[in-house]
């Protein structure tokens, strides 16, 4: 293998490229990115950068010298537009074609949008800088979507002195991910600070003056942020023969699956937010949009591509964190679709607790707010071991409720 192409120049793609070089690959290595900027970190966009605590230069993942040392054929500011599996080429927006022997797809996601114009989204550096310009004392920000991204942006805007309205279609924000009881605790943090949080409402469009709800009400705003989830960037792969479905469908090794009969071209892997792979640790397919997973999966895909004879399943315990007001939220595992959640330490009312999640008969996840890292790491070990939800866990839950 003498030609490897990595499409996507963010955390997953950069990790893949660095791993290939670190593992001894010395052939041509092309890194393609649709943004003109060198790889940068995205989590601070809704936190430190939006709050003007950091400037853009602190987000850069590698210095020019670091990138130069990788010996990359670096193609920034040009998007991939197509994939030819038989001919083993990636087609780019500038009309060029890049041949490959091995390919890693790391094209990430893009924000969902609402009808109408003028709303902000929060995915790129430019997005964050544009929104930041509109946040000031006395300004009114409407945030559509009270998930982690929307909640973080609302918390920053409140700290900057803006008036914030947070709109959420679900009865309890984040209940689908963390459970209703924990979701209500996180909700209370907004209400306690005077954020106008409205649940069970649907926004139908963005207008020149704000947003319009399904019942016809117009909520006026100086700025509108739409944070209603994301879509995997797979359009450029349509018709290629790869299996697509809420991401690039992969096996446990992160190798892309095939959606049509015929011989496999082989040597195509996916990593990061765009990859939907089978995680054998949890026995299910998942697509994870978290920074830690992107880097870890980029490394795993690179190793498996480089040495297929020694491939290892990618079976991580997913991790994510969120900073909202004075709350540090950390979680390990796969919390979605859980059957039960119990508080094993701390107090929900004080927003300082550890909640453990059960799926089937095993401990599938843990979420902590305001707790020392060592506490949550102990429960992470239980998740990684696939520990049974036995009477010991039940006893700890019951003891915390007394």
- For the stretch 66-105, pLDDT in tens is 999 999 999 999 999 999 999 999 999 999 999 999 999 9
Q: Does domain 326-401 have CATH number 3.30.390.30?
A: yes
Per-residue confidence (pLDDT) for residue 310, from 0 to 100: 95
Give the model's pLDDT for residue 263. Answer: 54
The whole-angstrom separation of Cα 136 and Cα 161 is 6
Residues 6+ apart with CB under 8 A from 52: 132, 160
Q: What is the pLDDT of residue 401?
A: 53
What pLDDT is recorded for position 261? 57
DSSP state of 292: H
- Give me the phi and psi of 295, to 5 degrees please: -65, -45
Domain ranges of the chain: 3-110+230-310, 113-226, 326-401
The whole-angstrom separation of Cα 107 and Cα 248 is 10
Q: Pick from 189, 185, 197, 190: which is nearest to 368 by CA?
A: 185
Q: Give one DSSP letter per residue of 375-390, joined into a string.
A: HHHHHHHHHHTT-B--
* DSSP-assigned letter for residue 147: S
Token pair in block for residue 164: 């914030």
Q: Please name which of 164, 119, 144 lies closest in space to residue 214, comparing C-alpha atoms.
A: 144
User: Residue 375's pLDDT is what?
Assistant: 85
pLDDT given at position 378: 87
CATH fit for domain 113-226, picks 3.50.50.60, 3.50.7.10, 3.30.2350.10, 3.40.50.1380: 3.50.50.60
Query: Using one digit for the tens of pLDDT, what is the confidence trace for 253-266?
Result: 999 988 765 555 57
Q: Locate 368 and state its tokens.
A: 């902590």
Q: How far apart are CA 60 and CA 55, in angstroms?
A: 10
Residue 373: its H or E element: helix 373-384
Q: Which portions of the chain are predicted below pLDDT 50?
A: 402
Q: pTM of the entire structure?
A: 0.94
Query: According to the model, what pLDDT value does residue 402 have?
Result: 42
Residue with tokens 């994510």: 320
Q: CA-to-CA distance for 152 and 48, rounded, in angstroms? A: 10
Tokens of 159: 């700290």
Contact residues for 85 (Cβ-Cβ < 8 A; gap 6+): 240, 241, 242, 265, 268
Write the class of the CATH domain 3-110+230-310.
alpha beta
Please state, in angstroms and rounded to a whole number, the distance separating the CA atoms of residues 123 and 230: 9
Task: Give 60's DSSP letter.
Answer: B
Decide if 3-110+230-310 and 113-226 have a common fold.
Answer: yes
326 CB contacts (<8 Å, ≥6 apart)?
A: none
Supply 151's token pair.
């909640």
Helices (H) and strands (E) counted in the chain, each on its own, are 9, 25
Residue spans of beta strands (DSSP E) within 275-360: 275-279, 284-286, 319-324, 327-333, 340-347, 352-359
Q: CA quadruple 204, 207, 211, 215: dihedral positive or negative?
A: negative
Q: Going by DSSP bridges, is the β-strand pair 163-168/140-144 parallel, antiparallel, or unpaired?
A: parallel
- Number of Cβ within 10 Å of residue 34's Cβ equals 22
* Rg over CA atoms, the chain: 22
CB atoms within 10 A of CB 116: 16
């Amino acid at each position: 293998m003498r030609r490897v192409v990595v499409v996507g120049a963010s955390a997953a793609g950069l990790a893949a490229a660095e791993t290939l070089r670190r593992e001894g690959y010395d052939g041509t290595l092309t890194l393609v990115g649709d943004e003109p900027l060198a790889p940068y970190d995205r989590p601070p966009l809704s936190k430190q950068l939006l709050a003007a605590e950091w400037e853009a230069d602190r987000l850069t993942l590698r210095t020019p010298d670091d990138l130069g040392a990788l010996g990359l054929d670096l193609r920034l500011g040009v998007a991939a537009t197509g994939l030819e599996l038989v001919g083993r080429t990636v087609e780019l927006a500038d009309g060029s074609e890049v041949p490959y022997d091995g390919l890693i797809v790391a094209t990430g996601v893009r924000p969902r949008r609402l009808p109408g114009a003028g709303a902000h989204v929060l995915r790129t550096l430019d997005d964050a800088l544009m929104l930041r310009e509109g946040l000031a004392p006395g300004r009114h920000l409407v945030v559509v979507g009270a998930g982690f991204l929307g909640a973080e942006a609302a918390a920053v805007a409140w700290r900057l002195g803006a008036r914030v309205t947070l709109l959420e279609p679900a009865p309890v924000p984040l209940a689908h991910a963390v459970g209703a009881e924990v979701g209500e605790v996180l909700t209370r943090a907004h209400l306690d600070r005077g954020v106008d949080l409205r649940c069970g409402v649907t926004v139908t469009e963005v207008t020149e003056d704000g947003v319009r709800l399904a019942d016809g009400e117009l909520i006026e705003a100086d700025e509108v942020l739409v944070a209603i989830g994301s879509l995997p960037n797979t359009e450029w792969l349509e018709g290629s023969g790869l299996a697509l479905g809420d991401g690039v469908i992969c096996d446990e090794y992160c190798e892309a699956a095939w959606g049509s009969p015929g011989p496999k071209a082989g040597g195509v892997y996916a990593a990061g937010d765009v990859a939907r792979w089978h995680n054998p640790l949890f026995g299910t397919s998942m697509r994870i949009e978290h920074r830690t997973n992107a880097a870890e999966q980029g490394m795993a895909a690179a190793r498996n591509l480089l040495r297929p004879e020694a491939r290892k399943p990618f079976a991580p315990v997913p991790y994510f964190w969120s900073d909202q007001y004075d709350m540090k939220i950390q979680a390990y595992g796969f919390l979605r679709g859980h059957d039960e959640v119990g508080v094993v330490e701390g107090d929900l009312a004080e927003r300082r607790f550890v909640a453990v999640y059960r799926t089937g008969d095993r401990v599938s996840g843990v979420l902590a707010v305001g707790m020392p890292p060592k506490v949550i790491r102990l429960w992470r070990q239980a998740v990684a071991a696939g520990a049974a939800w036995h009477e010991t866990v039940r006893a700890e839950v019951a003891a915390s409720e007394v």
